[in-house]
Amino acid sequence: MQSRKIRMLTETVDSLLQRGARTNLQKLLSKSHAADLSIVFRSLSGSETRATFALIDDVEKKAEVISHLDSELQGRLLPTIEMDELVAIFSEMSNDVAADAMGLLPEELASELLSRMARTDSLQVEDLMEYDPDTAGGIMSPEFVSLSEDTTVQKAAEVLRASDDVAMAFYVYVTNEFEQLCGVISLRQLVTSAADRSLKELMETNVMRVRWDTDQEDVARLVARYNFLAIPVVDDGNKLIGIVTVDDVIDVIREEATEDILKMAGAGQDLEELRSVPSRVASRIRPLGYLFLSGAIAVPLLHGFRDMFNSNLALIYFIPLLLGLGSTAAIQATTYMSRGWTMGVIRSRWVRRQIRRELYTSAVLGVAYGLGCGLLAVLISGWALGLVVASAVGLGMVVSTLIGAALPLFFVRFKIDPSLATHPMVRMLSMVAVLIVYLLVSSTLLWCRLGG
Amino acid sequence: MQSRKIRMLTETVDSLLQRGARTNLQKLLSKSHAADLSIVFRSLSGSETRATFALIDDVEKKAEVISHLDSELQGRLLPTIEMDELVAIFSEMSNDVAADAMGLLPEELASELLSRMARTDSLQVEDLMEYDPDTAGGIMSPEFVSLSEDTTVQKAAEVLRASDDVAMAFYVYVTNEFEQLCGVISLRQLVTSAADRSLKELMETNVMRVRWDTDQEDVARLVARYNFLAIPVVDDGNKLIGIVTVDDVIDVIREEATEDILKMAGAGQDLEELRSVPSRVASRIRPLGYLFLSGAIAVPLLHGFRDMFNSNLALIYFIPLLLGLGSTAAIQATTYMSRGWTMGVIRSRWVRRQIRRELYTSAVLGVAYGLGCGLLAVLISGWALGLVVASAVGLGMVVSTLIGAALPLFFVRFKIDPSLATHPMVRMLSMVAVLIVYLLVSSTLLWCRLGG
């Protein structure tokens, strides 16, 4: 339903652009939500984006649209805007968004922009630019409401009323004389409490917080687990320096999900950075390397058994079956195990139970598909080959599954970043393993037959 | 940092359980957050879970722990609890959580439980159980604050004060005489407005809403896009029936991410339902079927060219390389395209641009790895084979990439559910394609050489 709405908006913008219907386009833009426009912008070309953006008549709306754009589009659009307008737009943005966007600009442009922004804003933006973008500091907003312990409810409400630049104030944070975080009170509690009580009486003192250098994924996990709307960020001395709000957490979770999917498939890490051909090539060449490596190992392996193949050519017909089933089984196990890992805590007992179940699962599947492949082999060249293929495929699937299930555990045990293109690596290992299984099983069985 | 905390908690619970230190365990449980305990429970056995759960001394805490458990654990734990306690626990839960949990109980147990709960609660729970769990109705909470248009700010604050069972009231919804949604006002606006103004004067009338049957993914996308804290759910007559809050949206996003990853790898759909061996087998057998199918097609294909292989046995050494590189290239393209799709809107111009870039990318990678494989072939058996392998691998990678890039588009065009184990299906298609390319290229080149 919603995607239809966006598609219609995109098509209308497109056709108005083609027809050069500026006034109508302008009207449409002013009626549309900034978040929707940012999605439309994704499917416009560079010049169309510039033309459309220029027609948005309100600086605040422009700032909002920019905030919703992904960084690649921001990086392309921002340098094309004139300095005066850029200053106006950046002044409308919240400072954490401004800091992120500023990081995408050429250095000269950024420093000129900073020098022309209001002093308080530019100082804060510069501060924020210091943090690693993947940490609490990098995603936090420096705009929050903090008050001292002896503030009354009435006074707190007045402060809130005055601070309308704080976009999402659900909690009022209470700090002591050293600006250290010592309590929190929800907006709701504030509404429902007597006007003359002090924050100290009402506040919750056990406040969950994160340090500025906490990884953004950990921040997201905390907020998700405890159903927070925001979590305060403190510096090394427990001084409150910002808050991470739930909407930023949602962005982190979505971003990380895409990253996980791309990484697993060996297709890169970041959708935005992968637009150009050179970056696609760069992100894919290494994962392909794993398959090249295993394929290259297979060459001398198969070459070593050339006499066997020469006298039993039908053995080669089943290599694609063997590789396909083996590597798929391995990937299924790896995906299941590593996802189970992400979702919870792993104890050795859990691991043993999982490995055991994977073993049984692969045994059942190995018997089923082993028999299927064996039957094919019987049809092609008789019972002997049928036996070889059935045993090799069955055993190969079990070995592959166990390799796939164990790999995530090795990653964790040896603190290896599991981002190393899991699927291609699993396929590499399982390919080599099933080929060795196949060669050993077939040569052994054929030798027994010759012997018997 | 956080996962260490949970791991320590798990280990402590474990060792206290082993030592039978009931009193200490009880103390630890009462100190720990329900969300943390729910994660600990994931790695306990059935009997350990029951024993630990029984030691939680507070019914409210028990209800909270249950709410945080995933449905598989809920389904195992709940039927072991005595009816009296079950009634107490369900009465403490919010009704949307109760409805979800109720659906996991055996029918008899559920109806006895319903009959013993307070009338208002049980009616609401029964209503909620009617909705499809994957829709707005299935994830909404029926507990929200709605008031009529002429309510004053002062009166609204009083109502809020009285309704402390509404967990997350950030918005007050305004309804007309027919209970139809006609406006919304934020808690923050309420705090900062004069006490004698009416909601009608202050409310925002353009309220984004979803229907009860909207897919939960669409709900999540809306909330994420517009940074809402909650979105109202209406019935067919625009009557307000519930709200979906941002914490539920986070759960949906995380759940869908896991589902995407498992589906793509052909490892099932739902982590929770995949615990037992039979369900693992059931979810994996079909994706493996794609590979079986392509492998089975390969058998007569290779058999058909047996004379060529007989006189050029070295050709078979490169089949694993060819299959591995080809299918990886296809999966990389598919993952990139389908993820790009999920994140935005696709126009035919976007598609053409993407396909073109995939073509160039695969050409570069095909030349690189084609040369690599060709070199290996030269070393093994001379220039003729080198030429064959280099051309076949290069061309195979290009064809595979295009198949991988086009597949998500076909899914969308023909409205096929892309959940059909994307990766195994892509591997099936690319495997058959690269084998055909290999056989055609090698037979043509060898024929030319014989002819020349």
A167-195 residue pLDDT tens? 556 788 999 988 899 999 887 787 778 88
Residue of B nearest to A266 (CA): B332
Q: How confident is the model at residue A382 (pLDDT cuts 50, 70, 90)?
A: confident
The reported pLDDT for the residue numbered A452 is: 47
Closest CA–CA distance from residue B116 to any residue of chain A (Å):
30
Tell me which chain B residues have a C-beta less than 8 angstroms from the C-beta of A442: none
ipTM tops 0.85: no
Specify burial of residue A34 (Cβ count, 10 A radius: 0-12, 13-18, 19+): buried
CA atoms within 13 A on the CB side of A361: 30
Mean pLDDT (whole number) for A236-244: 93
Between A427 and A160, where is the model more confident? A427
Cβ atoms of residues A334 and A366 within 8 Å: no
Q: Which two tokens stand for residue A140?
A: 């936090």
CA atoms within 13 A on the CB side of B81: 27
The reported pLDDT for the residue numbered B257 is: 83
Cα A441 to Cα A305: distance, rounded to the nearest angstrom? 12
Contact status of A303 with chain B (Cβ, < 8 Å): yes
Tell me which chain B residues have a C-beta less than 8 angstroms from the C-beta of A274: 336
CB atoms within 10 A of CB B415: 6
Partner-chain contact B246 A229, CB within 8 Å:
yes
Partner-chain contact A431 B336, CB within 8 Å:
no
The reported pLDDT for the residue numbered A430 is: 92
Residue of A nearest to B160 (CA): A192
Q: Across the interface, which of B10, B191, B261 has its CB nearest the CB of A264?
A: B261
Contact status of B286 with chain A (Cβ, < 8 Å): no
Q: Which of B152, B170, B160, B156 is nearest to B243 (CA)?
A: B170
Tell me which chain B residues have a C-beta less than 8 angstroms from the C-beta of A276: 357
Q: Across the interface, which of A218, A266, A373 has its CB nearest the CB of B1?
A: A218
Contact status of B24 with chain A (Cβ, < 8 Å): no
Tell me which chain B residues have a C-beta less than 8 angstroms from the C-beta of A373: 292, 295
Partner-chain contact A160 B188, CB within 8 Å:
yes
Q: Residues 162-221, chain B: which have Cβ within 8 Å of A? A: 164, 168-170, 187-188, 190-192, 214, 218, 221
Contact status of B263 with chain A (Cβ, < 8 Å): no
Partner-chain contact A339 B188, CB within 8 Å:
no
All residues at 6 or more sequence positions from A343 whose CB lies less than 8 Å from its CB, including other chains: B258, B271
Cβ atoms of residues B148 and B215 within 8 Å: no
DSSP A207: -
| Intervals of chain B under pLDDT 50 | 1, 345, 452
Contact status of A332 with chain B (Cβ, < 8 Å): yes
Q: Across the interface, which of A160, A258, A313 has its CB nearest the CB of B339?
A: A258
Contact status of A294 with chain B (Cβ, < 8 Å): yes
All residues at 6 or more sequence positions from A242 whose CB lies less than 8 Å from its CB, including other chains: A96, A136, A137, A140, A141, A142, A144, A212, A232, A233
Tell me which chain B residues have a C-beta less than 8 angstroms from the C-beta of A329: 284, 288
Q: Across the interface, which of A222, A298, A313 has its CB nearest the CB of B2?
A: A222
Torsion angle, alpha carbons of B48, B52, B55, B59, to 10: -120
> What pLDDT digit, counting tens, does each position of A123-141 carry?
888 889 899 888 999 999 8
The reported pLDDT for the residue numbered B419 is: 60
Bridge partners, B53 (sequence order): none
Contact status of A365 with chain B (Cβ, < 8 Å): yes
Q: Across the interface, which of A43, A191, A318 has its CB nearest the CB of B191?
A: A191
Partner-chain contact A253 B254, CB within 8 Å:
yes
Q: Across the interface, which of B35, B247, B335 has its CB nearest the CB of A267?
A: B335
- State residue A170 phi and psi, 5-degree precision: -105, -25
Contact status of B318 with chain A (Cβ, < 8 Å): yes
Classify B131 in phi/psi space as left (phi over 0), alpha (psi -120 to 50) or beta: beta
Partner-chain contact A435 B345, CB within 8 Å:
no
Q: Residues 112-151, chain B: which have Cβ within 8 Å of A? A: none
CB atoms within 10 A of CB B452: 5
Partner-chain contact B335 A262, CB within 8 Å:
yes
Q: In one letter, which amino acid is A313?
A: L
The reported pLDDT for the residue numbered A1 is: 47
> What pLDDT digit, counting tens, does each position of A82-100 carry?
999 999 999 888 888 899 8
Cβ atoms of residues B143 and B167 within 8 Å: yes
Contact status of B418 with chain A (Cβ, < 8 Å): no
This prediction's pTM: 0.83
Tell me which chain A residues have a C-beta less than 8 angstroms from the C-beta of B402: none
Partner-chain contact A343 B277, CB within 8 Å:
no
> What pLDDT digit, counting tens, does each position of A384-403 carry?
889 999 999 999 999 999 99
pLDDT reading at A428 higher than 70? yes
Contact status of B441 with chain A (Cβ, < 8 Å): no
Q: In one letter, which amino acid is B216?
A: Q
Q: Across the interface, which of B267, B310, B365 has its CB nearest the CB of A335?
A: B267
Strand duo A210-211 + A230-234: pairing: parallel
Contact status of B344 with chain A (Cβ, < 8 Å): yes
Closest CA–CA distance from residue A173 to any residue of chain B (Å):
15
What is the distance in angstroms between the CA of the first residue and the CA of the last residue of chain B? 70
Partner-chain contact A291 B324, CB within 8 Å:
yes
Partner-chain contact A373 B251, CB within 8 Å:
no
Closest CA–CA distance from residue B448 to any residue of chain A (Å):
24
Partner-chain contact B157 A369, CB within 8 Å:
no
Cα B218 to Cα B208: distance, rounded to the nearest angstrom? 13
Cβ atoms of residues A388 and A317 within 8 Å: no
The reported pLDDT for the residue numbered B235 is: 93
Cα A176 to Cα A182: distance, rounded to the nearest angstrom? 6
> What pLDDT digit, counting tens, does each position of A299-330 carry?
999 999 988 888 888 899 999 999 999 999 99
Tell me which chain B residues have a C-beta less than 8 angstroms from the C-beta of A365: 281, 284-285, 288
Cβ atoms of residues A289 and B324 within 8 Å: no
Q: Residues 73-92, chain A: which have Cβ within 8 Å of B? A: none
Q: Which H helix or E strand runs over A263?
A: helix A246-264
Cβ atoms of residues B72 and B275 within 8 Å: yes
Contact status of B402 with chain A (Cβ, < 8 Å): no
The reported pLDDT for the residue numbered B1 is: 46
Which of B3, B209, B299, B376 would you mutate first to test chain A, the one with the most A CBs within 10 A?
Answer: B299
* 3-class state of residue A315 by DSSP: helix
CB atoms within 10 A of CB A324: 27
Tell me which chain B residues have a C-beta less than 8 angstroms from the C-beta of A347: 10-11, 14, 43
A-B CB pairs within 8 A amount to: 365
Cα B19 to Cα B5: distance, rounded to the nearest angstrom? 21
Contact status of A307 with chain B (Cβ, < 8 Å): no
Bridge partners, B244 (sequence order): B231
Q: Which H helix or E strand runs over A160?
A: helix A153-162
Mean pLDDT (whole number) for A407-419: 74
Contact status of A223 with chain B (Cβ, < 8 Å): yes
Contact status of B39 with chain A (Cβ, < 8 Å): yes
Mean pLDDT of chain A, nearest integer? 86
Q: Which two tokens stand for residue B296?
A: 């089975």
The vertex-A322 CA angle with A320 and A323, nearest 5°, equals 65
Q: Which two tokens stand for residue B89?
A: 């626990």
Which of B3, B13, B252, B321 would you mutate first to test chain A, the one with the most A CBs within 10 A?
Answer: B321
